[in-house]
Amino acid sequence: MTTTTTTTVTLADLTRMLRESAGEEEGVDLDGDVIDTPFMELGYDSLALLQVIGEIQREYGIEIPDDAVVDAETPGALLALINSGGATAA
């Protein structure tokens, strides 16, 4: 059985994990106002998202639905999905 998680992942957490697991595109400033910038514009393809979502799941012990890779097009959307309980405790 699963329970709703109370985990809160911040934008700073997300950008740190993006850097660690998928690197940072030249010319992109992840510390800037990127909350609504599409991942594609930040230089991250679906595989990079798969990689970072894997890291989030491991670090926070949560499960994020596979569809997040395609459904969450921006950091804001991904964080909303994780923090609103769309993710479940693993």
Partner 1 sequence: MTTTAVVTGLGVAAPNGLGTEEFWKATLAGESGLGPVTRFDAGGYPSRIAGEVPGYVAEEHIPSRLMPQTDHMTRLALTAAEWALADAGLDSAGLDSAGLPEYGVGVVTSASGGAVEFGQRELENLWSKGKEYVSAYQSFAWFYAVNTGQISIRHKLRGPSGVLLTEQAGGIDALGQARRHIRKGVPAVVSGGVDAALCPWGWVPQIASGLMSTVNDPDRAYLPFSSDAAGYVPGEGGAILVVEDPESAHRRGAARVYGHLAGYAATLDPAPDSGRPPALRRAVENALADAGITPADVDVVLADASGVPDLDRAEAEALTALFGPRGVLVTAPKTMTGRLLAGGAALDVATALLALRDGVVPPTVNVAAPAPDQQLDLVTEAREADLRTALVLARGYGGFNAALVVRRAD
CA 87, CA 21: separation in Å to the nearest integer? 20
Say how many residues touch partner 1, by CB under 8 A: 15
User: CB of residue 51 vs partner 1: minimum separation in angstroms?
Assistant: 4
CA 90, CA 73: separation in Å to the nearest integer? 23
Residue whose pair of structure tokens reads 């991942």 in the numeric block:
39
User: CB of residue 48 vs partner 1: minimum separation in angstroms?
Assistant: 8
- Binding to partner 1 by residue 26, rule CB under 8 A? yes
CA 33, CA 29: separation in Å to the nearest integer? 8
Q: Residue numbers of the site for partner 1 (CB under 8 A)?
A: 19, 21-26, 43, 47-48, 50-51, 54, 57-58
